[in-house]
Amino acid sequence: MPTIAVLGTLDSKGPEHAFVADALRRAGHTPLLIDVGSLDAPTITPDLSRTEVLAALNAPDTAAIFARRDRGECVTLMGRAAAALVTALHAAGRIQGIISLGGGGGTAIATAAMRALPIGFPKLMVSTLASGQVAPYVGTSDLTMMPAIVDVSGLNRVSRAIFTNAAGAIAGMVTARESTLHPPVGTALRAVRAEATPEKPLIVASMFGNTTACVTAAKKILEAAGYEVLVFAATGNGGRAMESLIASGLVSGVLDITTTEWADELVGGVLTAGPERLDATAKAKIPAIITPGCLDMVNFGEPASVPAKFAGRLFYQHNPQVTLMRTTPEECTELGRILAEKINRYTAPVTVLLPLRAISVISAPGQPFHSPAADEALFTSLRHHLRPDIPVLTPDVEINEPAFARACAESLLAHLAGAHTSDAR
């Protein structure tokens, strides 16, 4: 019978978590109540006390922190401890899922724990913050956040319905995952399990709507060569997730077609992946292909959200919620320098490919962002700052033409073949 961790601040939200635990029992699962409260005594008896949670962290100063009764300090400490505990429980096979209910503090603690668990492990956070900006809580994980609607403060006709649905959701996630990992003998699920087994070497690729045709075509070539290709949307969080997976050591090669997030980071758009974007590949020392895909655009929301300082710039309305701004030659010069400096740190084989006719769908001739001066500034700066030993290919095509996709895929395959030869020696 699968065990689901029910983790929460039981000093303030004990009955609510007990309600979820009872619902899980009725669904045929075993709840494991874990107390991560810090200021007052728990209102229900947990299966794992906060003392046991803190023991997983093995930190000598916990008593002093609790004695100060500083809520911020306590929340930070319990988040670290909860992450250490659930990591150990998962490694020991003691839990198959996790759920929590919380306001600000409880959400911070529980999501810190959930982010420490691997992708694919069922995790559900019922939170008063779920309908707002959740990026700090979700990070690059796959945790699911469910709006609490009312505060997590007592049981009432609304909270009972939400908590019951939440218990059913996490129970369903766990049941589905367990069925896939351990299918009954003689069922068709054996095929599902075989499909999920990570036997093929992994390649990660970055994609935007404006580079979809290129990445899709390259992906087919790489898959035909025996690789599994995971595609990440270059939307800020997608880039961070890709960097995180590269850093995990599970990736064999990188097809970084869409480096557009650096335009947002430099200029001030909303889809930045942070200044560490492109760093993980250097640290992982794996083969890579880099192109300046969609560096012609900076992303904003609806037109009214564009900062006033950009008045007079060239814009394109991608959809009612997305406004794109064309990068200038000056910005492109700086972007070329940044990309070159990132790529110069790569020690594994890397090739830069520059599609001379267009770096996105809308920068092609006749399209709204067509700007030969800006593109040339980008290409010239990148080549000028790049290490002389790094190959640069300059196909006279648009980024989404099949020839460019093929050049990217075949260049990466050549690097991977060389890496395999080196490993075999």
DSSP string, 31-42: EEEEE---SS--
User: Domain 3-181: which topology?
Assistant: Rossmann fold (3.40.50)
How confident is the model over 305-324, as pLDDT tens digits? 999 999 999 999 988 889 99
Nearest Cα neighbor of 117 from 236, 266, 4, 263 is 4
Q: How many CA atoms lie within 13 A of 7 on its CB side?
A: 33
**Phi, psi (5° rounding) for residue 330?**
-65, -45
Count other Cβ atoms within 10 Å, centred on residue 334.
18
**Phi, psi (5° rounding) for residue 312?**
95, -10
pLDDT of residue 67: 78
pLDDT of residue 196: 45
How confident is the model over 150-176, as pLDDT tens digits? 999 999 999 999 999 999 999 999 999
Q: How far apart are CA 376 and CA 399, in angstroms?
A: 15
Instruction: Check pLDDT > 60 for residue 411.
Output: yes
Fold match between 3-181 and 198-424?
yes
CA 81 to the chain's CA centroid = 23
Mean pLDDT of the chain: 92
Nearest Cα neighbor of 107 from 79, 65, 70 is 79
**Residues across the chain:** 425
> Are 284 and 248 a contacting pair, CB within 8 Å?
no
Q: How far apart are CA 140 and CA 162, in angstroms?
A: 25
Domain ranges of the chain: 3-181, 198-424
User: Per-residue pLDDT averaged across 138-153, rounded?
Assistant: 93
Q: How far apart are CA 420 and CA 391, in angstroms?
A: 20
Residue that the structure tokens 């590949």 belong to: 281
3-state secondary structure of 95: coil
How far is CA 375 from each of CA 40, 92, 406, rounded to the nearest angstrom? 61, 53, 22
- Say what the alpha-carbon torsion angle 109, 110, 113, 119 is, to the nearest 10 degrees: -140
Strand (E) positions, 9-132?
Answer: 30-35, 97-102, 123-127
pLDDT band at 61 (very low <50, low <70, confident <90, very high): confident
Tokens of 331: 């910005």
How confident is the model over 196-232, as pLDDT tens digits? 445 799 999 999 999 999 999 999 999 999 999 999 9
- Burial of 73 by CB count in 10 Å (0-12 exposed, 13-18 middle, 19+ buried)? middle
How confident is the model over 264-279, as pLDDT tens digits? 999 999 999 999 999 9
How confident is the model over 366-405, as pLDDT tens digits? 999 999 999 999 999 999 999 999 999 999 999 999 999 9
Cα angle, residue 39 at apex, residues 34 and 44 outer, rounded to 5°: 40
Instruction: Check pLDDT > 80 for residue 186.
Output: no
pLDDT of residue 71: 79
Instruction: Check pLDDT > 70 for residue 134.
Output: yes
Beta bridge partners of 39: none
- Say what the alpha-carbon torsion angle 247, 251, 254, 259 is, to the nearest 10 degrees: -40
Nearest Cα neighbor of 2 from 163, 176, 120 is 176
pLDDT of residue 257: 98
Tokens of 353: 């490919």
CA end-to-end span of the chain: 47
Tell whether pTM > 0.75: yes
Nearest Cα neighbor of 256 from 220, 199, 294, 227 is 294
| Chosen CATH of 198-424 out of 3.40.50.1220, 3.40.50.12030, 3.30.450.20, 3.40.50.620 | 3.40.50.12030
